[in-house]
Amino acid sequence: MNIPRCSGIILHPTSLPGPYGVGVLGRAAYAWVDFLEESRQTIWQVLPLGPTGYGDSPYQSFSTFAGNPYLICLETLAGQGLLDPAELHDAPHFSDDRVDFGALYEWKMPLLFRAAAAFVQADQRDEQAEFAAFCDAQAAWLDDYSLFMALKDAHDGAAWNHWEMPLRSRAEEALTAARTEHNTRIHAYRFIQWLFFRQWRTLKEYANQRGVRIVGDIPIYVAMDSADAWSHPDQFFFDDEYQPTVVAGVPPDYFSATGQLWGNPIYRWQQIEQRNFAWWIARIRASLQLYDIVRIDHFRGFAGYWEVPAAETTAINGRWVTGPGSRLFEVIQAEMGELPIIAEDLGEITPDVIELRDRFHLPGMKILQFAFASDAADKFLPHNYTPNFIVYTGTHDNDTTLGWYRHSSAERERDHLRRYFRTDGEDVAWTLIEGALRSVAQVAVMPLQDVLGLDTDARMNLPGSREGNWQWRFRAGQIDATTVARLREATVLFGRDPKTYEGKGPEAGGQ
């Protein structure tokens, strides 16, 4: 993937500031893009944008194709006459610092359903035609998703593999009856998706016009409780009762002594390949309508993946199984040309993973927080980089850099960092930010938490933990003129402002 030398920031939209409990695709999102432009950042990296399920994780979504209803801006709907503004004035008190997903669900989803009902009655012919066209264009996933969500509501949120067998097995007679019975709810879920995609695409256009490209995230696996698993059960290892026989995870590693038991169903790659990877092609194609570049989470799973019997309570007793390897990416490349894909190549990386990544010229990832546990040969130290990488101070799975330095790192790591960067550690987050920006890696990305110098309480996710994740939000006043100026100066100084290379040929920015 050929990309100019540049930099950017990781911030999931739910972390944006605003008055209604969660970041949305409204005024604060546009102000965020303005900040990126002003500080010379040309990458905005987000986490998966799908509707979140159990545990509120973006990596456990009800659909790999759908958008998150929580991100819809209600003020926009009120301005369009689909909501009474008084309903927003009567909103409950939400924290400005954390997302309370339970309270948000109880308040926001009924408002979206009311907007869907109002839309049916509204005299908005152009919008009605646009909505109908959206439903037709997205029918391949939208029909199953909207029925799936309506049935989940009818079953009090129960996972699909606990529904009665005719619905679990998708018996045609049962599905036909369900479409009739739940028609109103199905329409509402389609309408909510139209709202999300409409608002997101308008925001993305605004970002692109200002030179900001959006990096999205594709989890390699889908959630067990998802429209994807329910509508394509033959693509997964399920028994006759539609229960998983094996599930995904990773063996013991940096993050957990017992590994990580994710619980996602495992693909039947042989069946998927027999269909020329059609579902994966559709998934990549849909993602590239949402994003400019995609990062595939757990890329190593395409070379080999950790398979755990479904009855296990930890990921220790699993085994490595060979994945589809280059065959998948050959088909994707034949269908779509150059692959604007970042390979998340962290964890236990074997030569076959590196070979797969490099064969298709996919940039990998470097994490500066991982760099100081060994010696000068450590692959995460900047002097060992080659250009075709994305360097991060940390990701959504790491502690903030300040939190890592103060609470999570060993004294040997802290000493190594101080000696390596010739620093006293007083401003450690910016030490790593400047180390990333200075490196030869083609792209440097920092979580906003590091730009703001925040401690562990601003951490987004602690892998292996079930509570308190994905909740962090920043306040509008936290980004001030000093922050903008400092980030802009460092970006320009280390040659990551795109204007640096204008008119100087592609070789100036590297490959």
Residues carrying an active site annotation: 297, 344, 397
- Collapse the DSSP code of 103 into the 3-class scheme (helix H, G, I; strand E, B; otherwise coil) and give the result: helix
Within 13 A of 461's CA, how many CA atoms are on the CB side?
A: 18
Under 8 Å between Cβ of 81 and 122: yes
Contacts of 257 (CB under 8 A, 6+ apart): none
Take residue 57 and report the two structure tokens written for it: 């994780």
Give CA separation, 274 vs 147, 240, 246, 322, 331, in Å: 27, 22, 21, 17, 12
> What are the CA-CA distances from residue 262 to residues 11, 249, 461 (Å)?
23, 5, 14
Torsion 126-132-137-138 (CA) sign: positive
Query: C-alpha dihedral over 23, 28, 31, 33, to 10 degrees?
Result: 30
* First-last CA distance in the chain: 8
Provide the 10 A C-beta neighbour count for residue 412: 11
Q: Where do we find the tokens 């949120």? A: 157
Q: Residue 263 has which token pair? A: 């619980």
Residue type, 201: R
CA atoms within 13 A on the CB side of 371: 27
Task: Show Cβ contacts of residue 311 under 8 Å, excluding neighbours closer than 6 positions.
Answer: none
